Structures are given as C-alpha cells and as structure tokens.
Amino acid sequence: MSTTRPGTPGPPPSSRPDPPDFPAFPRAAHQAVRDRTLRGNLRHATHTIRAKRAKAVAEVSDWAALREAGKQIKDHTLRHLDRYLEQVEETVTAAGGTVHWAVDAEEANRIVADLVKETGQREVVKVKSMATQEIGLNEALEAEGIRAYETDLAELIVQLGKDRPSHILVPAIHRNRGEIRDIFRSEMGKWGRPAPEGLTDRPAELAEAARLHLREKFLRAKVGISGANFVVAETGTLVVVESEGNGRMCLTLPETLISVVGIEKIVPTWRDLEVFLQTLPRSSTAERMNPYTSMWTGTTDGDGPSAFHLVLLDNGRTDTLADEVGRQALRCIRCSACLNVCPVYERAGGHAYGSVYPGPIGAILSPQLRGTASEIDASLPYASSLCGACYEVCPVAIDIPEVLVHLRERVAQGGPATRGGNKVVLRPAKGHTAERAVMRAARWALARPGVLRGGQRFVSRTRRFHPRSLPGPGRAWTGTRDLPAVPAEPFRDWWQRTHGGKEGPR
Amino acid sequence: MNGKERILARVRRALADVPRDDRPYAQAVRRDYLRQHDERGAEDLVDLLAENLADYRAVVHRCGAGELPGLIAHLLGERGAKSVLVPPGLDETWLADTDVRRVADRPESTPHELDRVDSVLTGCALAVAETGTIVLDGSPDQGRRRISLIPDHHICVVRVPDQVVPSVPQALERLVPGRPLTWISGPSATSDIELDRVEGVHGPRTLEVVLMSG
Ligand code: SF4
C-alpha cells in the first residue's frame, strides 16, 4: 500500500516514536490485507528469503549448537548487564572514545543534537540503525535545524517516499521496483542529485542511481551517525554488519562518529563474535557472510574519525529486563528471520505493527519497550497465530509465542510490571481496549483459515525443537516454570480429521 | 543522579529476582559448536576460498609470486586504470610491470581526491575459506580504511596458503581486536529491491582477489 503523503521535501517522519498515531493492529492489518500490491510484494520477498535462509543454515552442521551458544552468551550478558555496561565504558574510553548514557529517547536525542551542534555542522549522514529510528532521531535533529540523510538504499527509498519502514532488514520491502523507480524520479532532485535521465526499474540501475545520489553526500560529510550490531565489552570494539558500503562510508569518512546503541547489544568477549558472525548473516540475508563488516575500537590515529561518541540507550530496555518472561526479547540480534516466516506478517505487512519493530519480534518488543497503555501496544500481543515458526528460526532461540501469551495475560488480567524504572501494578485493560483488540484480532485470523492452518501444522512438525525447560546454564532463567507444551496434533488438523475438511473458502 | 547511575540502578533492580551466578565466563557458555566445518588440507582450503569468493561475484585469479607483477599490470590495463592508490608498505615489486600513475595513501588527501583515483591495490590480513571473506586490518600493506572503499576497483592480494584460515572462529583468533578491521565478502551489494541481491552500490563495484602462492 502506498502511504505516500503529500508534503514538502525535507526529512520526513521515517519513524514516529509515539504510538497513539497508530490504529490497533487488527484495524491496520485489515487495511493492509486488502491491498493487493502490498501483499504481492511481501509474499514474493518473504518467500524468496525463506528458501535461501533454509539453505544457508543447512550448510552449517552445527547450527543448533551455535544457536544455543548465542542464546547463552546473551543471557549471561543480560544477567550481568550492569557489570558489562561499566566495562564497555572503561574500554571504549581507554580506546579514545567518549561514552554517554541516555535513559530515554528524549535524552538520547538531546545528547546527539548537542554533539552535532558542537561540530558546527548542519547535516549528518546516517547508516541504518533501529535504535535511532526507535527514538525518532531524524525528527529531533530536524527540529534543531540539522538534516539527517539516510544512506541505506531501503532507508533512502523510505525517506524519499515520505514513508515508514516496514521490515527490519529491508525497510522498503513493501515497495516493488516500479514504485522505487517512480519515487527516485520524482524525489531525488529535491534532496540533491536527481535520478539519471531515463531511469528504468532494473534493480542494477536503481542501485546505480542511489550510488550517484549519495556519493556527493558521503564525500563532504563531517558527521556520521550509526548504530551497532555488537559492542564487545572486553575490548571496547563496535561491530557494524552491512552490505552496501554506506556503513563503511559513514564509519570512516566523517571526522566525528556518533553511535547510538541499545544497552542489550553488548557481548562479553571478542571470541563471542565467532558465534554471531556465523548466525547473523545466514539468518538475515541468507548469506555465508554479508559483503562488509566493520569493527572499530575507539579512534585510530590517521585512520577514520578523530572523535568517537558512544551513546548507550535504555529507553524501556531495563523495564523489559525486569520481566522474568519478557526479558528474553533482549537477546534479539535483529536478523529479521522471524518476520520472513510469519504468516501474519506476510499478510498484514510491517506498517500494521505501528512501530519500527514489525513482525513477531515487534509484537513482543514494542509492548515491553513502550508499555501496553496505548491501543496499538495492547493489541500487538494478539498479532499472532502462535504458530511457533518465529521461535524455530530465531538464531538466539527467543520463545516468541511464550512471551506473546505472557503479554496477553498482562493486557487482559493486569499484574505487576516495571515502567520507567518503577514497579507498578497494571489494571486489567478495560473492555473497550483489550477485549476489542482481541476480538478484532481473532476475527481477523479466523476469517483466514490459511493463516492458522499453515502456521499450526508447522509448529507441530517441529515439536522436537521445543524443549520443556531450557537445558544447561540457561535454566536459571526459566527454572521455576516449564515452557508451554506443544500439542501433538494441532487444532486445525484435528478439525480437518474429525470434520472432514468442511470449511469456508480461504 | 546522572544517566549512568540511573541506568545502572534500573538494571540492578530489574535483576533482583535472578539467582547469583559467579561462575567464570569461560564456564558460562557451552561452546560445542565446531571450530571449522571443513577438514580439508591447505591446498583444498585455497580451492574452497576461491569457490566462495567467486560465488559472491569477486573475480578470482591465481598466480605464483614471480607472475604477480605481470598479472597486476594486466588487470590494471584491462580495466583502463590511469591511477592506482598504493598503501605505504606495499611491496613495490608488485607494481614493477606497470607505469599507471601511483597515488600515495596520505592523511591529508580529501575524499574528493580519492574519488578521482581509478583503482586500489592492497594486501590483506587474512582470508576465510568457508565464507569467501578477506579481512583488512590497516597494516602498512593495506593502508587506511577509506582507500579500499572509495575507488571503484579493488585488487587484493592474498598469500596462499599462509594467509588462509578455514573458518570465522579461526579468523577471530588471529586478528588483533584493537585494529580497525574490515571484512569483505564480494563487492558491495544490496538486497533492498525485492530481496534480490544486486552487486555494486557504494563500495568498489569490482573486487579482484589474487591468490598468490610461493
Ligand atoms: S527475534 Fe530472533 S528471529 Fe526475530 S529478529 Fe530477533 S533474533 Fe531474529
């Protein structure tokens, strides 16, 4: 669906951090499901990547062991997060960087805006970062008279199209090549170098147009802004995994580099990268290795930026950490594999999730980072058929269905939670929010038997991957509870068997 | 309280329910994954590297040490390169057979100046066979990170079999974390248009890897 809004050129709302702008999931999904172009684009893209991912994962015989190690590394880090945060500050500082701490989005935005202003610059180049989208950094900088240029191809498409991202890895996944060509033709000129004459919709030509358009910005850039995939506590090293080279441009050409990183991105040791550099590329782009990975430690004399700032971002992460069941969402390495296998995402599209984190991970992360007060956040835990495909592909074994069920309980029944660092007791959501959201979501899913059928069979076939309680050192996190069991025969199959497959049209 | 104190206090409160765990980190994570996936010998590893590099559209050449200057001259000539960026510690003899203009890797060069250079020639820190990756670490034969980024044509020489490791875990063991590291697997690419890989966005669109033996 084209969500292009008329408006003046200039940094558009690539992300809106405040949830009340968004309709509840079922309503948004309903609109998306009716949009044939969007569904076609999503279906094509997610099915392509699914098959490739499976092949890339099958190439490594020790995938299960890598997945378990990744999970244990992240759990250990979260359990000792205070210690590792302090260690990061020490090692980054020792390597010539400056560390800043931001409790929420507003603080982070202020820190970054002040740092940019200190350089005297009025523009920055940005490499795609979920954290800066989450805090609405571009809008905050715009309010301070600073223009932020997105340089990732998909982010550029989103920014030029005055659109919102709809996928973690491929934020413009909802756009097909024809739409991208039209956006480039009509919008590039307003931001800098216009699209070449006679631009067609061949992907190679579109990529070339982006190369030419952005190059002038890279070459003159004095300030770069990034996120990071990993921060190594032991060495103070930051890691950015990318494909296009726009990351390398932003990380090495400017004089000042500012990296905004969620506090959950830490890994304890250098060696830990051996796990994630194997699981991340295969899970996200389905490659043995992505084209470029940059690793830097503070500043290096005569090579790259002479000033480096690391902004450590909380913004709801410690609230999430306080939830015994929900904290596992902080293991996420943002690979997007769970989006690509999700039958609900495939039909609803990323925008329906009303957050920069769409898909299954968004359904458990947004309501925890932002709380469940708004209609969209209260409805997100219902944006799932609980089929379990997301859990099975997750390279850090986040049990997304378990967290969804937990969050549904919290929305419906209320109970203890942590908001803004304080313990609170949530009241059960009133009928006019949660129940309505539930009913809409249920109606939406039940009206589409294909969603449930595809999903539920899948989980049952993969039962052997679902441990009843977590083995090894990870146990302590879940020691008091058994994980929910997966029934041997899914409801749909039972119904099919006992009722002879009589059902309405798909 | 400042931001740091507030965040640390929140973390500690959030973890109040978690039982203590004072095991050393080495015992906290079970690492029963493989150190390498391929148990072939050194020569076969070089083949695997070549195969995986080519799979991601790097152009692979093989030669003996004596043939290198001729090959470099040929590659630059074929490309029509008029200038080549040269890291300070590069073995001069590699360029002995070509008179293409040398541009030194200097701190005062601007990105715009580097943008006018046609090609860059570097060595590497190591190469990873299983993933088809070369890693640069800023050593004198590789230069600043930006010189292998801005020109559109990168020729990288790997000494085989010495610089080839089988796997990612073994690569990390050999690298020095404090150095600025760039892992390169094929020319720059994007999957952003309908999730199809297209080679050639911002980094060098042509990556030629020379596997030099002896
Ligand atoms: S939840 Fe798991 S599968 Fe989904 S993006 Fe995060 S790491 Fe990837």
Domain endpoint, select from A276, A295, A313: A313
Please give the distance, rounded to the nearest whole angstrom, from the Cα atom of residue A67 to the centre of ligand 1: 12
Q: Which domain holds residue A484?
A: 448-498
* Residue A248 near residue B182 (C-beta atoms within 8 A): yes
Please report whether residue B166 resides in a domain: yes
Atom of ligand 1 nearest to the CA of A284: 8
Tell me what pLDDT residue B82 has. Answer: 98
- Out of B131, B169, B180, the one facing A296 most closely (by C-beta) is B180
Per DSSP, which regions of A80-222 are E strands? Answer: 98-102, 123-126, 147-150
Nearest chain A Cα distance for residue B179, angstroms: 7
**Strands A147-150, B83-86: parallel, antiparallel or unpaired by DSSP?**
unpaired
- Asked if residue B180 is part of any domain, the answer here is yes
| pLDDT tens-place string over residues B53-98 | 999 999 999 999 999 999 999 999 999 999 999 999 999 999 999 9
Tell whether A100 is covered by a domain: yes
Cβ–Cβ of A60/B19 closer than 8 Å?
A: no
Measured between CB atoms, which of A172, A291, A318 is closest to B185? A291
Which residues of chain A lie closer than 8 angstroms to B168, CB-CB? 274, 277-278, 289
Beta bridge partners of A259: A226, A310
Residue of A nearest to B144 (CA): A303
Largest CA distance in chain B: 70
**Cα B121 to Cα B208: distance, rounded to the nearest angstrom:** 10
Mean pLDDT over each residue of chain B, to the nearest integer: 94
Structural domain range at position B47: 40-213
Residues B36-40 have a mean pLDDT of: 85
Is B17 an 8 Å CB contact of chain A?
yes
Instruction: Enter the pTM of the model.
Output: 0.88
Are B195 and A48 inside 8 Å of each other by CB? yes
Q: Hey, which bits of B111-152 come out as E strands?
A: 119-122, 126-128, 133-136
Report the residue among A280, A282, A283 best suited for mutation to probe ligand 1: largest number of ligand atoms under 8 A from its CB: A283
Asked if residue B112 belongs to a domain, the reply is yes
| Positive/negative CA dihedral, B12, B14, B16, B21 | negative
Residue B17 to chain A, least CA–CA distance (Å): 8
Cβ partners under 8 Å of residue B197, min gap 6: A285, B189, B190, B191
Residue A441 lies inside a defined structural domain of this protein: no
Cβ of A389 closer than 6 Å to ligand 1, yes or no, is no
Residue B164 lies in a domain: yes
> Does B25 map to a domain?
no
Q: What is the pLDDT of residues B190-206, one digit of tens each?
A: 877 877 778 878 999 99
Q: Classify residue B98: in a domain, yes or no.
A: yes
Split into its structural domains, chain B has a count of 1
pLDDT, residue A444, reads: 53
Amino acid (one-letter) located at A17: P
CATH number at residue B57: 3.40.50.10420
Residue in A211, A232, A272 nearest the CB of B201? A211
Task: Kindly report the nearest CA distance between residue B136 and chain A, in angstroms.
Answer: 10
What's the confidence (pLDDT) of residue A354? 84
Tell if the CB–CB gap between A248 and B18 is shorter than 8 Å.
Answer: no
Residue A383 lies in a domain: no
Please report the pLDDT score of residue B73 as a whole number: 98
When divided into structural domains, chain A yields a total of: 2
- CATH code, domain with A201: 3.40.50.10420
**Do A326 and A332 form a contact (C-beta atoms < 8 A)?**
no
Spatial CB neighbours of A495, under 8 Å, sequence gap ≥ 6: A503
Question: What crossing angle do the helices spanning A203-220 and A177-191 adopt, rounded to 10°?
Answer: 30
pLDDT of residue A45: 82
In a domain, B2, yes or no: no
pLDDT on residue A391:
96
Closest to A8 (Cα-Cα) out of A198, A133, A128, A142 = A142
Mean pLDDT in runs of 10 for chain A (506 residues)?
34 41 71 73 86 94 97 97 98 98 98 98 94 95 96 90 82 86 94 93 91 94 98 98 95 98 98 98 94 97 96 97 96 95 88 88 94 86 89 97 92 88 84 54 50 41 38 37 41 43 37
Q: Cβ B185–A271 below 8 Å, yes or no?
A: no
Distance CA A274, CA A293 (A): 13
> Which residue, judged by its Cα, is nearest atom 2 of ligand 1?
A394
